[in-house]
Structure 1
Amino acid sequence: MSEQQEFVGAIDCGTTSARFLVFNDVAEVIAEAQEEFPQYYPHPGWHEHEPDEIQEVVERCLEEAVRKLEAMGHAAKSIKAIGITNQRETTVAWDRETGKALCKAIVWDDSRTRGVVNTLERRLNEQGIKVHDGKHINSVDDLIALTGTPLSTYFSAVKLTWMIEHYEEVKNAHKEDRLLFGTVDSWLVYNLTGGVKSGIHIIDVTNASRTLLFDIRKLQWSAPLLEFFGFHRSILPKIVSSSEVYAEMVDGPLKGVPIAGIVGDQQAALVGNKCLEPGQAKNTYGTGAFLLWNTGEEVVKSDHGLITTVAYQPGPNSNPIYALEGSISTCGSSIKWLRDSMKLIAKASDMDKLSSSVKDTGGVYFVPAFSGLLAPYWDSSAAGLLIGLSAYTTPEHIARATLEAIAYQTKAVLEAMAQDHGADLDHLAVDGGVTNSNMAMQIQADIGGFEVIRPLMRESTALGSALLAGSAIGLFGWDVTRPETLKRVNTQGNQSFKPKISAEERAKMWAGWNRAVERSKGWEADDDSRRGRDSV
């Protein structure tokens, strides 16, 4: 009977919605449910979530997906394990005695903490952090060497510092040893395993590596950093691997099912794309883009401003796997800009038709530096630029230049990663909304000079957590430390895009892009008279 089949589930809690997906042994999605949760923007630059609302949405998704599974003739008990993947860095503070959130969660992209970053950086430079044997951390570079991450508004310790300084409830809970801190994975696991009655307080190594409190080599909380930030150790969750049985669900349709995998969303996509060997990389093309490059058991310090992060730890007794991470701020949002602001297209899917109707951009380059340039250029004063325009230029040329811009930025980050790791890229695994465009993927292969592999089933983030959960209990024979055990996973319908242009043409196009980037740099640092103002 069908109910004798076995499945693995995945909770995927993103920035705007949560989902629960049920996979079979080859990663076909058998059942799924998705629901958005409210977003709060009380002030410019602020972005908040209500922790209870996230939890409620997750529980409804679990119930709905199981209902669909049972309607297909499968039993709820056929789900043998659950993995969890989550938006990273988003910070939750709750009360140890009541189990209730003390304030709204501060989301990863919230920028209210710029003042906190400035204060901490000044203290770091002036006082340093005593580590051991008389050694000190005296600069941001030293901090990066320890944690893999810089002082930034993104990371959780900075957000928690702001909470303690501005919310009396959090400040008092910290003072009275009632405060519990965690990222979204911690909050979900705590509640799914019993909350204030029996809930466990844990965080996996990938999420811990985004807190600015974690020693990425020792895989433990750093006492000197706790002292620097002024946090009590008692607030911290227990650090666990990305693949082990942590506890069982205590309620709902999946009561008794083990939670066996936890991993941050971008690392999950790396695992879900089966980039399990050193030198393998993935790019998730969304509003922005996130690239991760597997460096194996080696912690690689970047000379290009990339983040060093824990990719996953395949078990409590296993060595961690590390990755280099780079971000592109403007990816799919540049297509949205053409649609919503420039009215050049009616819908995103028009991009393929427009861009494929011309053989090149007619000499046009588009640098979509709407909020500066991230890795490897690192110029917050760069501005968006369309250059090479002539009377010959058409909307088709601009559409193609937009897709090329995404590919150029990806190539730039990957080249930096290759130089840092000292290895060449064989192929790029891809997922995310922009990958729906065949034209964008062919342009990426042409400009990058490497093969691009796009799976038919692109729920790579959820799949990554499912693979880690399945591996923890030996389900389907999966073992993330032995990639050959996953050879049947998500291979049906994979599409390969290979370069079709010559190396000479690629080099010429790349040189043009770099010239355009140089012209976009430093624009915002110039006098205001060079920029139009609505009020003028």
Structure 2
Amino acid sequence: MGYILGIDQSTQGTKAILTDENGRMVGRADRPHRQIINSQGWVSHDLEEIYQSVIASAKDVVERTGICKEDICAVGISNQRETTAIWNRQGQPLNLAVVWQCARAKEIAHQKKAYGEQIEKKTGLPLSPYFPAAKMAWLLQNTEDLPDTAEICLGTIDSWLIYRLTNGEQWKTDYSNASRTQLFDLHTLQWSEEICRIFDIPVECLPTVCDSNSLFGMTDLDGLLPNKVPIHSAMGDSHAALFGQGCHSCGMIKTTYGTGSSIMMNTGENCIASRHGLATSLAWGIDGKVNYVLEGNINYTGAVITWLKDDLQLIQSPGETEAAAKAANPQDRTVLVPAFSGLSAPYWNDEAKGMLYGMTRTTGRNEIIRAALDSIVLQIQAVLDAMNKDSGLTIQELGADGGPTQNGYLMQRQSDISQLTVAISDVEELSALGAAYLAGISVGLYEKEKLFAQRQKVRYTPKMPEEERQHKLKDWNRAVELLLR
């Protein structure tokens, strides 16, 4: 019997899964970690806490399933992207990690405005504090007692975990994560020394970039396993979900509903420069060949539901939102634009603030909850529109994954507004599963074609009258227009 351990280190916590020799998930364990938010609204994570959550979740899933530890063949890693870490060569954090949502580096990004076109042309990414380049520059400027440059490590969470899991023997990242840093040249497939100089980031502080199915090193998970096993995949979580969805061909598209959302279209070997507010990145590198993607990132999707629960206290659990949205007054046209930390794709406005638009005296709890769910759908639709324009490809089906896909109202609404079939993965843990699948394929445990042929999906098809759909789109666009004035 052989098993693959898939680790998904995400924004809210870490999940670990085990897949058996047939690719079926046989166990899952989750460990949360803190969201450290200061009075300025900066969002941070504790790197040591993240590492310990990885070890703890791996231990939990092994113990719960009762498998023989010797049967674990390999480890695959997916990670929250853009969250930026700094540590020393001894594997000690030098500062808290700057989370992808955090816009504290916006002044640095604004200072580089003159280089915006140059940066986007090389990296495929619009200049923004969302990406690690500005975050790394901020950490270098604001970390006390920095050691010499030769002792500093900068990277995304995958490279931090690989460093620690291999006891500092390997310091690597993969193409998908590198392409999201705003420091990586999509055309030469190397760190851009020119862009690094613009941000004052020494290239020697960055990890080695490898194929996503490379051997990233050997680990015993801090003594959990009796023998070291290979870490044989690493991908950003959205890329791992794209792989896990089976979107391996040009024109296939998926959206991950997480804290935020990544809408991603595989464009194959075509590196398409966006003209409509999207990012161009690498899907992955596998066996020496890279695939590109068009992507739109949204800061607040699942986090909008958390806002309803924790801040407004309108719900006690996310599961309440479906019934509340269905019970809302159908005549109410309230729109929520959740620009709590600016608007990301396809608008890219760091100064935008959140807004409830179109309320009347009868707007109440249910109507606000429905507006919150609809805001997820409408943000995603804006990205899909941009993708159609950039790629010239006709989207036939939208793959969907993540916890919020269990909300039937949300998924039907997405199908209605997008006028697409929405296909829900039969497994919620797509990022962890994608990482596990790629690792399993890499060590020869799985055959790719057989693995994906057995997958089942639930599908939603459009039902909303076109007139109602047009009202929804018109109200959203009007609200955004007012917000961006």
TM-score w.r.t. length of structure 1: 0.82
Structure 1 stretch 432-441 or stretch 31-40: which is displaced more?
A: 31-40
Q: What is the CA distance between 1:441 and its match in structure 2?
A: 0.8
Q: What is the CA distance between 1:276 and its match in structure 2?
A: 1.6
Select the residue among 453, 473, 477 that pairs with 1:488: 453
Q: What is the CA distance between 1:65 and its match in structure 2?
A: 1.9
CA RMSD of aligned residues (A): 2.6
Q: Deviations over 1:269-309 (max 9, x none)?
A: 21122222222222222343221121111111111111111
Q: What is the CA distance between 1:417 and its match in structure 2?
A: 0.8
Once the two structures are superposed, the pairs formed by residues 313-352 of structure 1 within 5 Å of their partners are 313-315=285-287, 317-318=288-289, 320-339=290-309, 344-352=314-322
Q: What is the CA distance between 1:25 and its match in structure 2?
A: 4.7
Select the residue among 73, 88, 98 that pairs with 1:95: 88
For residues 411 and 195 of structure 2, the distance between their equivalents in structure 1, rounded to whole angstroms, comes to 43
- 1:84–1:342 distance in 2 versus 1, CA, 3 Å: closer
Partners of 1:28 and 1:457 within 8 A in 2: no
Partners of 1:441 and 1:452 within 8 A in 2: yes
Aligned counterpart, 1:57: 53
One-letter amino acid of the counterpart of residue 6, structure 2:
A
Partners of 2:257 and 2:405 within 8 A in 1: yes
Once the two structures are superposed, the pairs formed by residues 306-317 of structure 1 within 5 Å of their partners are 306-315=278-287, 317=288
Q: Deviations over 1:202-259 (max 9, x none)?
A: 1111111122221112211112223333343332211101112232215523332111
Select the residue among 217, 220, 228 that pairs with 1:256: 228
One-letter amino acid of the counterpart of residue 266, structure 2:
N
Q: What is the CA distance between 1:330 and its match in structure 2?
A: 3.3
SS at match of 2:389: helix
SS at match of 1:34: strand
Counting aligned pairs with the same residue, the percent is 34
TM-score w.r.t. length of structure 2: 0.90
Select the residue among 501, 510, 529 that pairs with 2:464: 501
SS at match of 1:10: strand
For residues 231 and 516 of structure 1, the distance between their equivalents in structure 2, rounded to whole angstroms, comes to 39
Aligned counterpart, 1:153: 129
One-letter amino acid of the counterpart of residue 120, structure 1:
K
Q: What is the CA distance between 1:200 and its match in structure 2?
A: 0.8
Aligned counterpart, 1:131: none
Q: What is the CA distance between 1:35 and its match in structure 2?
A: 1.6
Q: What is the CA distance between 1:412 and its match in structure 2?
A: 1.6
Select the residue among 188, 191, 194 that pairs with 2:167: 194
Aligned counterpart, 1:452: 422
For residues 58 and 331 of structure 1, the distance between their equivalents in structure 2, rounded to whole angstroms, comes to 25
One-letter amino acid of the counterpart of residue 486, structure 1:
L
Once the two structures are superposed, the pairs formed by residues 70-149 of structure 1 within 5 Å of their partners are 71=66, 74-96=67-89, 98-121=90-113, 125=114, 139-149=115-125
For residues 93 and 378 of structure 1, the distance between their equivalents in structure 2, rounded to whole angstroms, comes to 26
- 1:436–1:388 distance in 2 versus 1, CA, 3 Å: same
Aligned counterpart, 1:163: 139
Aligned pair count reads: 481
Aligned counterpart, 2:330: 361
Structure 1 stretch 436-445 or stretch 361-370: which is displaced more?
A: 361-370
- 1:220–1:377 distance in 2 versus 1, CA, 3 Å: closer
Partners of 1:249 and 1:258 within 8 A in 2: yes
SS at match of 2:411: helix
Structure 1 stretch 263-272 or stretch 243-252: which is displaced more?
A: 243-252
Partners of 1:26 and 1:488 within 8 A in 2: no
- 1:52–1:402 distance in 2 versus 1, CA, 3 Å: closer
Larger radius of gyration: 1
Aligned counterpart, 2:258: 286
SS at match of 2:217: strand
- 1:407–1:179 distance in 2 versus 1, CA, 3 Å: closer
Unaligned 5+ residue runs, structure 1?
Answer: 126-138, 479-483, 523-536
Select the residue among 518, 523, 531 that pairs with 2:481: 518
For residues 167 and 316 of structure 2, the distance between their equivalents in structure 1, rounded to whole angstroms, comes to 48
- Structure 2 residue 2 is the aligned partner of structure 1 residue 18: no
Aligned counterpart, 1:386: 357
SS at match of 1:300: coil
For residues 200 and 314 of structure 2, the distance between their equivalents in structure 1, rounded to whole angstroms, comes to 52
Aligned counterpart, 1:527: none
Structure 1 stretch 13-22 or stretch 441-450: which is displaced more?
A: 13-22
SS at match of 1:476: coil
Q: What is the CA distance between 1:411 and its match in structure 2?
A: 1.4
- 1:248–1:444 distance in 2 versus 1, CA, 3 Å: same
- Structure 2 residue 203 is the aligned partner of structure 1 residue 233: yes
- Structure 2 residue 408 is the aligned partner of structure 1 residue 438: yes
For residues 152 and 450 of structure 1, the distance between their equivalents in structure 2, rounded to whole angstroms, comes to 31
- Structure 2 residue 26 is the aligned partner of structure 1 residue 30: yes
For residues 320 and 143 of structure 2, the distance between their equivalents in structure 1, rounded to whole angstroms, comes to 47
- 1:369–1:267 distance in 2 versus 1, CA, 3 Å: same
For residues 155 and 354 of structure 2, the distance between their equivalents in structure 1, rounded to whole angstroms, comes to 36
Q: What is the CA distance between 1:428 and its match in structure 2?
A: 1.0
SS at match of 2:148: helix
One-letter amino acid of the counterpart of residue 78, structure 1:
D
